[in-house]
C-alpha cells in the first residue's frame, strides 16, 4: 500500500511544479494590477466623462451583441447540429474562423465587405444611403463577428447532447417540430445557451482589434473601454490602470455569479 502511494506521489510532483508555475503566471499580473492601481484617484477616473462614456458604450454594445448572437447564433447552431445541410463541416469552419483570426484581420475583412467602399457597403450606401463605419452599430458588428462563434460552438454541442428519443416521443404525442423545438429542445439546451452567451459577452466586452480597425475611435460612439484603456496608456498610465481594474471587477463579478453552475456547459466547447 505504501509503495503504491509513493509511486503515485512521484509523478505529480513534476506536474505540480509546472501547474503552480501556471497559477503564478495568471495571478501575478492581476495582483500587480491591484498593487499598482492609484486607488486615491479612483473616484476621479470613474466619474470622468470620457471614462463613463466608454464604460456605457462598452456595456451597451456588448449586451446588444450578446442578444444578437443568441438570435442568430442559436439557429446557426441548430443547423450545424441537427440538419443535414451539405458541407456542414465546411460551414462550421467558415462561421468560426473569426474566432481564431487575428482581430485586426477581422476588422479589415469587415471594412472590405461593409465599409463605405466595401463589397456590400457600397451597395448599401448607393441604394439605401446606409453607411456603417464608423458609428456605434459598427462596434456591435465588429464584436458580433469575433464573439458569436463562442456561442455557436457551445450551443451546437448542447443541441447535439440534447438530441434523443425525447424529441421523437414529443412528436408522437402530437407536437409539431416547432413546438418540440420551443418546449423540449430549447429548455434542454438552456445551460449551453447561457454558457455560450457569457463567453460571447466576455469576448465582446474585451474586443479591441476588430473594433478599432472597423469602427474607429470616436469618443462617445465607438471608443469602448478597451480602446480607452489603450489610449490612456499613452497619456496617463494611472488612468489605464484604473480602467483596467474596472474591467477586472466586472469580469470577476460575472465569473463568481456563474460559479460552477454553467462552467460545465462551457467545458463542452469543442
Chain contacts with another protein (rule: CB under 8 A): 164-166, 168-177, 179, 183-184, 187-188
Q: Which is nearer to another protein, 76 or 195 (CB)?
A: 195
In contact, 269 and 156? CB cutoff 8 Å: no
**HSE-up (13 A, CA, CB side) for residue 170:** 15
DSSP 185: I
Q: How far is the CB of 179 from another protein (least distance, A)?
A: 5
Q: Please state the closest distance from residue 133 (CB atom) to another protein, in A.
A: 44
Nine-digit cell string for 6: 509513493
**Which CB sits closer to another protein, 88 or 171?**
171
Q: How far is the CB of 74 from another protein (least distance, A)?
A: 17
Looking at the Cβ atoms of 90 and 178, the one nearer to another protein is: 178
Q: Is the dihedral of CA 144, 146, 150, 153 positive or negative?
A: positive
| H helical segments located in the chain | 2-36, 42-47, 49-82, 88-100, 103-114, 121-123, 136-162, 165-172, 177-180, 186-206, 209-214, 225-235, 237-258, 263-266
Q: Compare residues 5 and 165 and give the one whose CB is closer to another protein.
A: 165
Q: How far is the CB of 83 from another protein (least distance, A)?
A: 17
Nearer to another protein, 19 or 187 (CB): 187
Min dist. Cβ of residue 150 to another protein (A) = 24
CA 110, CA 113: separation in Å to the nearest integer?
Answer: 5
Amino acid at each position: 500500500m505504501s509503495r503504491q502511494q509513493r509511486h503515485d506521489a512521484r509523478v505529480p510532483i513534476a506536474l505540480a511544479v509546472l501547474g503552480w508555475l501556471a497559477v503564478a503566471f495568471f495571478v501575478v499580473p492581476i495582483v500587480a494590477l491591484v498593487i499598482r492601481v492609484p486607488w486615491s484617484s479612483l473616484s476621479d477616473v470613474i466619474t470622468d466623462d470620457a471614462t463613463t462614456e466608454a464604460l456605457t458604450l462598452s456595456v451597451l454594445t456588448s449586451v446588444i451583441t450578446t442578444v444578437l448572437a443568441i438570435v442568430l447564433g442559436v439557429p446557426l447552431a441548430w443547423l450545424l447540429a441537427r440538419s443535414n445541410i451539405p458541407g456542414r463541416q465546411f460551414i462550421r469552419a467558415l462561421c468560426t474562423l473569426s474566432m481564431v483570426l487575428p482581430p485586426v484581420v477581422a476588422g479589415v475583412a469587415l471594412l472590405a465587405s461593409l465599409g463605405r467602399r466595401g463589397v456590400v457597403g457600397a451597395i448599401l450606401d448607393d441604394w439605401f444611403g446606409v453607411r456603417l463605419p464608423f458609428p456605434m452599430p459598427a462596434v456591435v458588428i465588429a464584436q458580433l463577428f469575433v464573439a458569436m462563434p463562442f456561442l455557436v460552438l457551445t450551443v451546437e454541442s448542447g443541441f447535439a447532447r440534447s438530441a434523443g428519443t425525447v424529441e421523437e416521443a414529443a412528436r408522437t404525442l402530437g407536437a409539431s417540430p416547432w413546438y418540440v423545438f420551443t418546449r423540449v429542445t430549447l429548455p434542454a439546451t438552456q445551460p449551453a445557451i447561457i454558457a455560450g452567451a457569457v463567453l460571447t459577452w466576455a469576448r465582446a466586452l474585451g474586443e479591441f482589434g476588430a473594433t478599432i480597425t472597423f469602427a474607429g475611435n470616436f469618443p462617445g460612439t465607438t471608443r469602448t473601454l478597451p480602446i480607452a484603456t489603450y489610449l490612456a496608456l499613452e497619456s496617463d498610465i494611472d488612468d489605464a490602470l484604473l480602467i483596467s481594474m474596472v474591467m477586472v471587477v466586472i469580469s470577476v463579478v460575472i465569473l463568481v455569479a456563474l460559479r460552477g453552475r454553467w462552467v460545465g456547459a462551457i467545458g463542452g466547447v469543442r
